[in-house]
Amino acid sequence: MRLGRREPRYAVAMVDPSADTQRLDDPGELLRRASHRMRRRWVEVLQPLDLSPHQVRALRAVVSGESLRLSELAERLAVANRSVTDVVDALVERGLVERGPVPGDRRAIAVRATAAGRELLGRAEKARTADVEDFLGRLSVAERHQLAALLHKLVD
């Protein structure tokens, strides 16, 4: 045994996802890869805005309504209450949303978007639209419509 250096108990293989040559004709694998690529791009697009995809989803839900209880926001986002609290805390800290009381229920807390939150969401959505256009740019308009129709069959 060498001093000052611990041997690992187990090895973890580092796999390059782009090197995955298995199942290249499998629609499920292709869909997973396309989704993963879009997710990575979305994270990169949001970096200059200092936002995460989770924060944008929460901000979008809050902006779409007058105000939301934290429990309603968690339900809309399909996440645990604790998870939504962490996301809202980060948005409050940046002045993008604010917490306030729910009229008639002194125990409940509602979240409302601020003007800064609405403005930043607008910038994020604009950047997202441009990135999606770039990502789908190699498809014709007809192919985009066909892709959208097929995806609707899977998610509706």
C-beta of residue 127 within 8 angstroms of C-beta of residue 56: no
Is residue 118 one of the residues assigned to a domain?
A: yes
Prediction pTM value: 0.77
What is the chain's pLDDT, residue by residue, as a tens digit (156 residues)? 444 444 433 343 444 555 555 667 899 999 999 999 999 999 999 999 999 999 999 999 999 877 899 999 999 999 998 899 999 999 999 999 999 988 888 888 899 999 999 999 999 999 999 999 999 999 999 999 999 999 999 998
Phi and psi at 107, nearest 5°, equal: -85, -25
CATH of the domain at 108: 1.10.10.10
Assigned domain for 28 exists:
no
Overall domain count for the chain: 1
> What tokens were used for 5?
């250096």
Could you tell me the residue range of the domain that residue 89 belongs to? 50-127
Instruction: Tell me how far apart the alpha carbons of residues 28 and 65 are, in angstroms, rounded to a whole number.
Output: 35
Q: Are 67 and 111 in contact (CB under 8 A)?
A: yes
